[in-house]
Chain A
Amino acid sequence: LSAETLNIQTSFNAGDFSTQYITENWLPKIEEMTEGRISIVLTPNGSVVPAKETPEAVAAGLLDGDFTSVNYFAGLEPAYAIMGDLISGYDTPEQMLGFCKDGGGEAMMQKAADAVTGGEVKVVACGPYSREALAARTPIRTFEDLAGKKIRSPEGLAAAVFSAAGASPVSIPFSEVFGALEKGIVDAADASAYVNNDATGLQDVAPFPLYPGIHSMPSMQFTVSTAKWESLSAEDQTALRDWWYDAMYAMAAEVAKQDAELAARDDAGDKVEVINWAQEDRDQLRVVARQEWENYATKSELAKEALDAHIAYMTQIGLFK
């Protein structure tokens, strides 16, 4: 049996905690699990093609697969926005991983992939690993405090939810976020997980981070080209899927732990005040958000189907009554 090396582009930046974590801890594991039959080379964000072009790159055979934040595809098909980041929806990454793995999330993602490519892309797995902290330079302690705040949120669904909650979404590009927070052009910005914001020094310029976050929990997809997928044995296919979910659950736990440690450390100092919203404020935002999900889901039939699947699962696990 010949060994297969899969060239996978991820949307993680090269120096991200997640890149190092997966590369060091999990890439060796897939070789163990398949007794050397499969190995994976992970290349960072934009290294071969821009992140939003990965489905087509996989279809064309340029990449063997991708490991991309689903939100990048929101413009290709509205369902990707609903599947990629259901703003203010789930409480923990594990809940949404459950939706992907056991609640019909994968099947939904496959439908979306088929809609934008010609069936040449196999969705192996999907789900998030972190809840993003909201970087803020002024205190936003309650739901009411959102009113009038300028919040950088270029993505459609996030902007709609913030807007419905009384804030003013600003759509400045990512390369300007740091300066915009530093100089006060915006009051808050959606950036990344607490651990990543800590590394880039975002807390220096935005000392009132909202943690745990209130809005975003970006979901990733793991795909392999259909041709490559079909050349694998059933056993290896199962191994690949199990490997990915094991890695994501482990990374979710690790990021949560690191986020909590860093937030506790910062909160104990006097430079940074970590703000944790009360449950009633979170619930208030979720009610506002649900209306915006439903508005968004009218954009396509697939988006409606995706939202229905979400709501069914959320109801099943008790997030909605």
Chain B
Amino acid sequence: MKRLFALYADAMDNISVFVGQACSVLFFACIAISALEVVLRYGFDAPTLWSTELAMTLCASAWVLSVGYVTQRHRHISITMLELLVGPKVWHIFRLLQMVIATGAVIVLSMALYHPATKVLARTEYSGTALNSMAPTYLKVLLLVGTVFYILQLLANIIRWVQGTEGDVSGGH
């Protein structure tokens, strides 16, 4: 059983890192599209109707999908002042508490996001703009997927806490 949990933690870490690093590509594309729009509009007098929405969607994807990577690297921002007061042993317990509360909160958030996501899957929501893309539908589902990623990586971090296999944890949880 212990090995199974360890395997899960390793697998989840790898998935989070892979997906997170893949998000780089989305940001590259986002920069390229925004710069291209300037060239097309200013250089060729041919503004596009898709660049704003596409850039927004690509960036949003990277923001949401990188959550596993951020969590795996303990990069969420938090105040660690109390660590000096309570000492490392108590703080170690606090770290578990942080992860458990975070897991609970994100589970509740995913429950809150579940209804909007299923609703747009049943009846597609479009942007209503000139491009009229499916971005709103995509983003509502994406956000739900993001919270699931977050929860799965938090579970992996909790396993590492229990098994004492955490790496550098000087950042957030």
Question: Do chains A and B interact in one complex?
Answer: yes
Residues of A within 8 A of B (CB): 52, 56, 71-76, 80-81, 116, 148, 150, 153-156, 158-160, 168-173, 185
Q: A71 CA to B131 CA in the complex, in Å? A: 15
Residue of B with least CB distance to A160: B130
State which of B123, B128, B136 has its C-beta within 8 Å of the C-beta of A155. B128
Q: Which residues of A contact B53 (CB under 8 A)?
A: 171
Take A168-B46, A170-B47, A173-B52 as given contacts and tell me if A81 and B128 are in contact as well, using a CB distance cutoff of 8 Å: yes
Most buried by B among A71, A156, A160: A156
Distance in Å: Cβ of A147 to nearest Cβ of chain B: 12
Indicate if the CB atoms of B41 and A171 lie closer than 8 Å. no
Q: Is the CB of B125 within 8 A of A159?
A: no
Determine whether the beta carbon of B128 is less than 8 Å from that of A171.
no
**Minimum C-beta distance from A50 to chain B (A):** 11
Q: Scan B92-136; emit 1 where CB is below 8 A from any A CB, else 0.
A: 000000000000000000000000100100010111111110001
Residues of chain B within 8 A of A173, CB atoms compared: 52
Nearest chain B CB to A91's CB is how many angstroms away? 25
Residues of B within 8 A of A155 (CB): 128-130
Other-chain contact of A75, B41, B47, B127 (Cβ < 8 Å): B127
Which residues of B are found within 8 Å of A170, using beta-carbon distances? 41, 47, 49
Query: 23 A-B pairs, CB-CB below 8 angstroms?
Result: A56-B116, A56-B119, A71-B128, A74-B126, A81-B128, A150-B41, A154-B129, A154-B130, A155-B128, A155-B130, A156-B128, A156-B129, A158-B130, A159-B129, A159-B130, A168-B47, A169-B47, A170-B41, A170-B49, A171-B51, A171-B52, A171-B130, A173-B52
CB of B122 to closest CB in A, whole Å: 11
Give which listed residue, A56, A73, A153, A185, contacts B128 with CB less than 8 A: A73
Question: Chain A CB within 10 Å — which of B45, B129, B136 has the most?
Answer: B129
Beta-carbon contacts under 8 Å, B37-84 to A = 41, 45-47, 49, 51-53
- Selected contact of A171 from candidates B116, B123, B131, CB within 8 Å: B131
Q: Could you say which of A52, A72, A148, A172 contacts B52, with CB atoms under 8 Å apart? A: A172
Q: Which residues of B contact A74 (CB under 8 A)?
A: 126, 128
What 10 A-B pairs have minimum CB-CB distances, sorted nearest first?
A74-B128, A75-B128, A159-B130, A75-B126, A170-B47, A154-B129, A75-B127, A156-B130, A156-B132, A171-B49
Closest partner residue, chain B, to A173 (CB atom): B52
Query: How far is it, in angstroms, between the C-alpha of A71 and the C-alpha of B129 when the chains are bound?
Result: 10
Bound Cα distance A56, B126 (Å): 16
Question: A159 to chain B: which residues have CB within 8 Å?
Answer: 49, 129-130
Known: A154-B130, A156-B130, A169-B130. A76 touches B125 (CB 8 A): yes
The interface centre, meaning the residue of A76, A80, A156, A171 with most chain B CB atoms within 10 A of its CB, is: A171
Measured in the bound complex, the distance between the Cα atoms of B52 and A81 in whole Å is 20
Q: How far does the alpha carbon of A169 sit from the alpha carbon of B49 in the complex, in Å?
A: 7
Q: Once bound together, how far apart are the Cα atoms of A154 and B53, in whole Å?
A: 10
User: By the criterion CB–CB under 8 Å, are B129 and A150 in contact?
Assistant: no
B128 contacts A150, CB within 8 Å?
no
Residues of B within 8 A of A172 (CB): 52
- Cα A155 to Cα B126 in complex, Å, equals 12
Q: How far is the CA of A76 from the CA of B125 in the complex (A)?
A: 5
- Name the CB-closest residue of A to B133: A75
**What is the CA–CA distance of A154 and B51 in the complex, to the nearest angstrom?**
12
How long is the Cα–Cα vector from A71 to B130 in the complex, in angstroms?
A: 12
Distance (Å) between the CB of B135 and the closest chain A CB? 9
20 further contact pairs, Cβ within 8 A, besides A75-B136, A156-B130: A52-B128, A72-B128, A74-B126, A75-B125, A75-B128, A75-B132, A76-B125, A150-B45, A155-B128, A155-B130, A156-B132, A159-B129, A168-B45, A169-B47, A170-B47, A171-B49, A171-B129, A171-B130, A173-B52, A185-B41
B129 proximity list for chain A (CB < 8 A): 75, 154-156, 159, 171
CB-CB under 8 A from B51, the residues of chain A are 171
Most buried by A among B128, B129, B131, B132: B128
Shortest distance from the beta carbon of B36 to any chain A beta carbon, whole Å: 14
Q: With a CB–CB cut-off of 8 A, which chain B residues contact A153? A: 130
Residue from B49, B51, B119, B131 with most neighbouring chain A CB atoms (10 Å): B49
A148 touches B45 (CB 8 A): yes
CA distance A171 to B129 in the complex (A): 8
On whether the beta carbons of B130 and A150 are closer than 8 Å, the reply is no
Cα-based distance from A155 to B128 in the complex (angstroms): 6
Q: How far is the CA of A76 from the CA of B140 in the complex (A)?
A: 13
Tell me, in angstroms, the Cα distance from A141 to B41 when the chains sit together: 23
A158 CA / B46 CA spacing, docked (Å)? 18
